[in-house]
Amino acid sequence: MPVTQLDHVAIATPDLDVGSAPYTALGLHPEGPDEDVGSQGVRVRAFHVGDTLIELLMPIRDDSPIAAFLEKRGPGLHHTAYRVTDLDAEMTRLMAEGGHFLGSTPTPGRAGTRVAFLHPKWGQGTLIELVEHPAGAAQ
């Protein structure tokens, strides 16, 4: 089954406190403590917006994709992410239809999720992430 909803909109920033300013000004609140995700070399701060999230991403390693993004493009919109119930099945389906994934298997994401990314070229200029939320799991 394809995507069920928008999961998050991700913003790259060199400093989570500075990057948070617009969202706290809008009255949004962090979902919980900041989370380091080693596989991506990032520290994440997530803000609830209804049933979706703003995901602020700050690099904590020089080899992080976010460090490269900031170097080339500066802070700002980084990717959009969508929920799927079965990530492996969705990857298989999309690969069969020409989807260009960055890696052949899911990787660890925020809050213990499994995630996969589709190349920005495939996304017509947008980096698209799929986030697995198995059916019935706490949303």
Ligand X SMILES: CC[C@H](C(=O)O)C(=O)SCCNC(=O)CCNC(=O)[C@H](O)C(C)(C)COP(=O)(O)OP(=O)(O)OC[C@H]1O[C@@H](n2cnc3c(N)ncnc32)[C@H](O)[C@@H]1OP(=O)(O)O
SS (H, E, C) 96-115: HCCCCECCCCCEECHHHCEE
Alpha-carbon distance of 93 to 75, in angstroms, equals 33
Q: Which stretch binds ligand X (CB under 6 A): 13-21, 22-30, 78-86, 93-101?
A: 78-86
Six token digits for residue 119 = 């190349």
Q: At a CB cut-off of 8 Å and minimum separation 6, what does 5 contact?
A: 51, 52, 82, 83
Q: Which stretch binds ligand X (CB under 6 A): 16-24, 25-33, 87-95, 122-130?
A: 122-130
Planar angle of CA 24, 62, 133, nearest 5 degrees: 55
Cα–Cα distance list, 42 to 19, 29, 104, 109, 114 (Å) = 14, 20, 21, 10, 16
* Number of residues forming the site for ligand X (CB under 6 A): 26
**Per-residue binder mask for ligand X (CB under 6 A), 31-70, x = binder:** ------x--x-x-x----------x-x-------xx-xx-
Interface residue with ligand X, options 117, 128, 130, 133 (CB under 6 A): 117
Interface residue with ligand X, options 47, 70, 90, 129 (CB under 6 A): 129
133 touches ligand X by CB under 6 A: no
Footprint of ligand X (CB under 6 A):
10, 37, 40, 42, 44, 55, 57, 65-66, 68-69, 72, 78-79, 81, 102, 109-110, 113, 115, 117, 120, 125-127, 129
